[in-house]
Structure 1
């Protein structure tokens, strides 16, 4: 049985602000949530809601969003942002920070840019050494949601993670992005192995709740189980119905019903 973590920037928005969304998720039977970046959130109030409900924060995004490959390539804000992000993550008991590749630069070979990502994230892991935080790199689809992103292939995220070669660095496998890119889910998970440190889901097309699109969810959850992944699953989708109703279907799917 997977631990499911609704994204509080997308789900339970009818409950109010972030702390009240945590409480609504808890009331709906969840013991975990995820979120995007901490900017704009009342962190002390969010911490209080997490502690009050016993809900775990499984992941947050790194800020600011970086364009690593676009000249003049000033990476200093990334490392400064990591310091701030780690401080928030530690306050909230969150063990993962999600990082991205930014936009690719058309004037350079792709391989050179992937190798530069290895250098950037190797330094990033060293920068936060001892924090207890794992960085997870997310490849995203360029066909619908993130045109121009450098990292749109799971296999290349695996390449970067292998290059960083740290137990505190891995990949976020987003089944929605992978499906939109036309990847073979079972093959990608097998290739990634234990480098998968976090998983997110949404249906395709549309990025709504499971059941709103055409993904074969029983088959995909079987792929996930067969891969050996046992960590949490982030519910990062745009609900087409009431949040509480939208999560029931995925709770049933994960339970094998």
Structure 2
């Protein structure tokens, strides 16, 4: 099928003939080209990472990612997109056999306690968000969604807070398990996000073991954990059976691999050699602007994933 006809079919079937308009025209001529690069892991760029090359339209950006050889995509802001856009994204990802990575599943409380507090209103809000996220995940073809338990409750012992968080996550798993969906808990570092309840991989590991569900796993963000605890490969090894997803960013700067102190070639090699088949989200900025900066990101991943 010609690519223009494919897009027209998507528009007519699910989003209306006027929705896509001129979308994807920039790459229409390259619809069936062989991907330029071969990556040994499922690296997932995000919206805006290749905007200088592909333009602002999210569909054009996904097409560019596919043309460059990326086999996954993640979108923290997915829930805020229209249903029509989500459906069009899903069709394009499926066309290129790209895996949909994480989106943020719920409202995150950055400065006040919610799940750690044990308060019923916060719990109800969280579970309602999880229910809404099930529909989004099915629409886009996603398996994983990010969960951040929120701020600490300074009025409660850490043990009571942990019990409250585990209780909330167990209830969320009751919603997710029938659909085969997975929430991934993301520990965040003290520097970028001071005061949060979940900060370290051993803590996330303990909580996942307590929840004891295939729908509650760890999102190991290598950038955050380099700052928070270091000892990256040993901690990945110890947490391995509870890790379902990785995210990437070098430190300092939170840009592409090779711009900071992390030996990403060794980290990627370890993850690859363990047989990881999931997604590694490129949740970082570009160290340089414009097309040159975007090409530098692609080159960085080719270099860091060259294990020879």
**Quick check: 47-56 or 145-154, which moved more?**
47-56
Count of equivalent residues: 255
Residue 63 of structure 1 corresponds to which residue in structure 2? 106
Question: Does 2:67 match 1:20?
Answer: no
CA RMSD, 1 decimal: 2.0
Of 50, 61, 67, 2:93 maps to: 50
> Displacement of 1:54 after TM fit?
3.0
Residue 205 of structure 1 corresponds to which residue in structure 2? 252
Residue 79 of structure 1 corresponds to which residue in structure 2? 127
Residue 46 of structure 2 corresponds to which residue in structure 1? 7
Alpha-carbon displacement from aligned partner over 1:88-108 (angstroms, at most 9, x marks no partner): 111111111111110111111
Distance 1:81 1:37 in 2: 14
Residue 303 of structure 2 corresponds to which residue in structure 1? 252
Question: Does 2:248 match 1:190?
Answer: no
Distance 2:91 2:218 in 1: 29
Alpha-carbon displacement from aligned partner over 1:57-90 (angstroms, at most 9, x marks no partner): 1221112224323585521121111121111111
Gaps of 5+ in 1: none
Distance 1:199 1:77 in 2: 27
**Quick check: 235-244 or 40-49, which moved more?**
40-49
Gaps of 5+ in 2: 1-39
Residue 142 of structure 2 corresponds to which residue in structure 1? 94
Question: Structure 1-normalised TM-score?
Answer: 0.91
**Quick check: 16-25 or 131-140, which moved more?**
16-25
Structure 1 segments (4+ residues) deviating >4 Å: 70-73, 225-228
Structure (1 or 2) with the larger CA radius of gyration: 2
**Structure of higher RCO (CA pairs closer than 8 Å, 6+ residues apart):** 1
Question: CA separation of 1:90/1:220 partners in 2, compared to 1, >3 Å: closer, same or farther?
Answer: same
Alpha-carbon displacement from aligned partner over 1:129-165 (angstroms, at most 9, x marks no partner): 311211111101012x111111111100000000011
Alpha-carbon displacement from aligned partner over 1:204-224 (angstroms, at most 9, x marks no partner): 001011111121222322443
Residue 136 of structure 1 corresponds to which residue in structure 2? 184
Residue 109 of structure 1 corresponds to which residue in structure 2? 157
